[in-house]
Amino acid sequence: MARWGSKKICVYCFCFSTLFFLIITFQVVTELGQFEKKKLLKSLLKGNQQGVAFRGAFLSKKSLDNMKHHNPGISYPILVWWSPLTGETGRIGKCGEDTCFFTINQTFYNHKMTQAFLFYGTDFNIKSLPLPRKPTHHWGLFHEESPKNNYKLFHEPAITLFNHTATFSNNSHMPLTTQYLKSVQTLTSQTYFVNLSEKKSLRQKLAPLVYVQSDCNPPSDRDSYIQELMKYIKVDSYGECLHNKDLPADLNSSLAMDNDHFFRILAKYKFSLAFENAVCDDYITEKLWRPLSLGVVPVYYGAPNVVDWLPSNKSAILVKKFSSPQELAEYIKYLDENDTAYEVYLKWKKKGEISNKKLFSEIKRRRWGVQDVFQDNYIDAFECMVCNRVWENAKRKEQGLAPMLWQAQAHHLSCPAPKAFSFSTDHTKQSPLHEIWLPSFEQSKKEAIALRALVERNKNFTAQEFWKLVFKN
**CA atoms 272, 276, 279, 283: torsion sign:** negative
Regarding whether 383 and 430 lie in a shared domain, the answer is yes
Question: Residue 1's pLDDT is what?
Answer: 41
pLDDT at 375 over 60: yes
Q: Are residues 150 and 277 in the same domain?
A: no
Q: Would 367 be classed as within a structural domain?
A: no
Of 178-182, 414-418, 419-423, 440-444, which gets the smallest average pLDDT? 419-423
pLDDT at 428: 57
| Residues 356, 380 within the same domain | no
Structural domain contains residue 328: yes
Give the Å distances, CA to CA, from 122 to 38, 131, 159: 11, 20, 13
What Cα–Cα distance (Å) separates residue 385 from each residue in 4, 104, 196, 319? 62, 18, 46, 37
366: in domain: no
Same domain, 22 and 86: yes
Instruction: Kindly state whether residues 193 and 157 are assigned to the same domain.
Output: no
Cα-Cα end-to-end distance for the chain = 32
Mean pLDDT along residues 389-413: 96
CA 364 – CA 406 distance, rounded (Å) = 24
Split at pLDDT 50, 70, 90, the class of 167 is: very high
My answer on whether 248 and 337 are in the same domain is yes
Question: Does residue 257 sit in the same domain as residue 125?
Answer: no
Single residue among 307, 330, 361 that ends a domain in this structure: 361
Asked if residue 70 is part of any domain, the answer here is yes
Residue 274 carries which side chain, given as an amino acid letter?
Answer: A
Place 61 in a pLDDT band, splitting at 50, 70 and 90. very low
Whole-model pTM: value is 0.84
CATH of the domain at 329: 3.40.50.11660
pLDDT band for position 424 (cuts 50, 70, 90): low
Q: 263, 210 in Cβ contact below 8 A?
A: no
Contact 431, 102 (CB under 8 A): no
pLDDT of 52 strictly over 90 = no
Structural element, H or E, at residue 365: helix 357-365
Residues 215, 152 share a domain: no
- pLDDT at position 73: 67
pLDDT interval class at 74 (50, 70, 90)? confident
Distance (Å, rounded) from C-alpha 254 to C-alpha 38? Answer: 12
Please check whether residues 391 and 465 belong to one and the same domain. yes
**Span 317-334, pLDDT tens digits:** 999 999 999 999 999 999
Q: Residue 394 and residue 397: Cα distance in Å, rounded? A: 5
Find the radius of gyration of the CA atoms of the chain: 25
Residue 369 lies in a domain: no
pLDDT surpasses 90 at 172: yes
pLDDT at 453 over 60: yes
What average pLDDT does the structure give for the chain? 86
191 and 306 both lie in a single domain: yes
Q: Using pLDDT thresholds of 50, 70 and 90, give the confidence band for residue 237.
A: very high
Q: Is residue 453 part of a domain?
A: yes
350 with 381, same domain? no
Q: Which of residues 311, 332, 361 is at a domain's end?
A: 361
23 lies in a domain? yes
Domain, as residue range, for 310: 184-361
Classified as helix, coil or strand, 78 is strand
Model confidence pLDDT, tens digit, residues 181-233: 999 999 999 999 999 999 999 999 999 999 999 999 999 999 999 999 999 99
Q: What's the domain count of the chain?
A: 2
371 belongs to a structural domain: no
* Domain end marker among 327, 361, 395: 361
Per-residue pLDDT reduced to its tens digit, 342-354: 999 999 999 999 9
Alpha carbons within 13 A on the beta-carbon side of 138: 32
State the pLDDT at residue 42.
Answer: 44
Classify burial at 187, counting beta carbons within 10 Å of its beta carbon; exposed 0-12, middle 13-18, buried 19 or more: buried
pLDDT digits (tens, 9 = 90+) for 82-99: 999 999 999 999 999 999
**173 and 196 housed in the same domain:** no
